[in-house]
Every structure is written in C-alpha cells, then in structure tokens.
Amino acid sequence: LAKTTQPISMDSYEGQEVNITCSHNNIATNDYITWYQQFPSQGPRFIIQGYKTKVTNEVASLFIPADRKSSTLSLPRVSLSDTAVYYCLVGDMGNSGTYKYIFGTGTRLKVLA
C-alpha cells in the first residue's frame, strides 16, 4: 500500500518557482513529512522536513495544511542544476519499532533553459 502519491514528472524553466504536491492521506499522528532530492547515480540528499504548518530553509519551503493529508515542496527560482528526482516521504514505524521510509517513484523535475 503506497503511502504517498506525487506527480511522475514536471517541467519548469530557469528562474521559476516550482511547487510539487504530495498526497499522504493515511499519514499517522507521529509521522514527519520529509523530502529528498536525488541526482543520477547518487544517493538521495535531504532537502527539508516538517510536521505541520510551514517550514523554510535556505533551499526550499514546505507547506503542510492543518489536516496533514498533503504537503507541497516549493523550490524558489530553480536553475538547471535542480533537475533531479524529488521524493516525498512519510515515516513508517515498522514492527521492530524502527522508524523507516518507503520510497515511491518520486517526481522527475526537468528544468529547461
């Protein structure tokens, strides 16, 4: 059972703001929402994490509505180097009690000149 749903791909132009929305209808009370970026043949890189409302750091913002059933990653003024796959994740406390993530297919963002 997939925990998150996000668009398979998006195109944008340099300098534009990009918003990627993720649905997580079955999010649990203790789940955080985490976004990663992955370039080809590299490991995923942490971008931002939030629990509720809005979180902002030096690279992105994360908007989470009150019901927490979705979230939106906002990338301001993207550049060609932001072309990557972006994963939205919610936690999953497995039977062992260990917190783990289930990666989906992610959103393939292509930034055009």
Binding residues vs another protein (CB under 8 A)? 32, 34, 41-46, 49, 51, 91, 94, 96-106
Nearer to another protein, 43 or 113 (CB): 43
For residue 81, the minimal CB distance to another protein (Å) is: 17
For residue 29, the minimal CB distance to another protein (Å) is: 14
Nearer to another protein, 82 or 87 (CB): 87
Nearer to another protein, 15 or 93 (CB): 93
Nearer to another protein, 70 or 106 (CB): 106
Count Cβ atoms below 10 Å from residue 18 Cβ, excluding itself: 20
Structure tokens, 32: 């955080």
For residue 67, the minimal CB distance to another protein (Å) is: 19
